[in-house]
Amino acid sequence: MLARSFYLDPSLDFFYSTFLTVVAILSVPVVVVLFTVILTQTPKYMRPLRLYLLNISFWHFLDSFVVAIVWRPVNLYPLPCMGFNGALRFLGVYFARFLFHVRSVAITNVYVAIIACFIYRWAQLRGKTNFLMLLSSRRGFAIVLGVHLVFVLYQSLLMVTFYVDNSRTLNPLPKSPSLLALVAEEEGLMCYSMQNIFSPIFIYAGIAVAIAFTVSVCVLIVLIQLPFWGDLRSKVAVKTLEMHRTLTLSLVLFAVIHILFKAIPVIVGVYLSLGSDFYANLVGLLCIAAEAVEPLLSGLATLILIVPYRRALRNLFSYIVGLYKKNILYLGWTQKSSSAVRRIHSIT
C-alpha cells in the first residue's frame, strides 16, 4: 500500500498521517474501556476466556498503535517498504527495522489468540467438558502461551538472520522505471525484497502459518454450524443458536476483513511493482484507506465475538450518558442558584 505521499500529493499525505494519528490516540481510551469491561463484567462461566480476550486486545492494540504512531506503513508485496515518518523517526533506520519484527510478533500473536478464543467458545457451546476444562486450566493457557513462544522464537530467528548475516541484510531496491521505484527513490523509502532479507525456509514457514490460519478458520466455521442443521428443534440448539450465529458472523467477518484488506493490497502491490501506473492514484487511495480502516474493523470483529459483553457495554454507555446528564443538570442547577443568590444580594 502506498501510504507515503500518495504519488507525491502533499494534501493527501497530510490527511493520511493525521487520520492515522487520530485513530491511534482514540484507540487508547477504547482499549482501556475494553479491558475494564472484560475484567469486571465477565460471567462466571466465562472467567477463563477473559485471559484469551485480553491477549487478543493487547496484541491488536500494540500492532495498531505501532503502525499508526511509529512508522507509516508502505507494504507493497513482495517489497515491504517502511516509510518511517512517524513520531519516532529520529531514532534511526535500525530501530525501524526492529519495529518491523515487533509488528510481526504482534500479528502472529493476534492470530494465535483469536484461534484459541474461537476454539474455547466452540468447546463451550458444544459442551466439550473435558476439553473445556483443559483450556480453562492453567496448563491449557500455558500451552497457548507456548504456541505464542514458538512464534516469538521464529521471529527472533528472523531478527538474528536479519542482523548477523551481512551477506543477506537488506539490499536496496534496484533502480527501475517502475512506478514503485520512482516513488521509493524520490521519497527515500526503505524498500527491500523478501528474498534478500530471509532465507527460503523462513518464507515457506510464514506461508505455511498463513495457510494453517485460514484453514483453521474455515474448519471452525464448518464444525460450529454443521451439527445444528439436523438438530434445530432441540432446546439446547434453540438456546445456543444465536450465540452460534454471532460466533460464525465474527469468524466470517474476520476472514472477509483480512481478505479485503490484506490479500487485495498484496495483489495490488504486485501489480504496481510490475511497473504499470494505470489508475495509480485510485489504487493508491484504496490501499491507503484499507490500511487505515483495517484495525478498526478487526476491533469490531473482536467485539462481535464477545457476545456476553454487549449488554455490559450498553449498560456502561448508559451509565456514562446518565452521569453526563446528571452533571449537566447539577451545573445548571448551581448556576440558577448562584444567579438567584446574586439577585437577592442586589435587592438587599
The pLDDT tens digits for 263-312 are 454 444 444 444 444 444 455 555 555 554 555 555 554 454 444 445 55
74 forms beta bridges with 81
- What's the whole-number mean pLDDT along residues 200-204? 50
Match 454471532 to its residue by C-alpha cell.
Answer: 246
pLDDT of the residue at 24 = 66
Q: Are 106 and 66 in contact (CB under 8 A)?
A: yes
Smallest CA-to-CA distance from 279 within 263, 287, 163, 165 is with 287
pLDDT of the residue at 101 = 63
- What's the whole-number mean pLDDT along residues 166-191? 40
User: Is residue 78 reached through a cis peptide bond, with omega within 30 degrees of 0 on the bond before it?
Assistant: yes
Write the CA distances from 231 to 40, 241, 242, 301, integer angstroms: 35, 11, 14, 28
Where do the domains of the chain lie?
A: 10-307, 312-348
Does residue 230 carry a pLDDT above 50? no
pLDDT of the residue at 332 = 42
Higher pLDDT, 177 or 38: 38
Does residue 48 carry a pLDDT above 50? yes
The pLDDT tens digits for 312-340 are 555 555 655 555 555 444 444 444 434 44
Topology of domain 10-307, CATH: Rhopdopsin 7-helix transmembrane proteins (1.20.1070)
SS3 content of the chain, % helix, strand, coil (to 5): 80, 5, 15
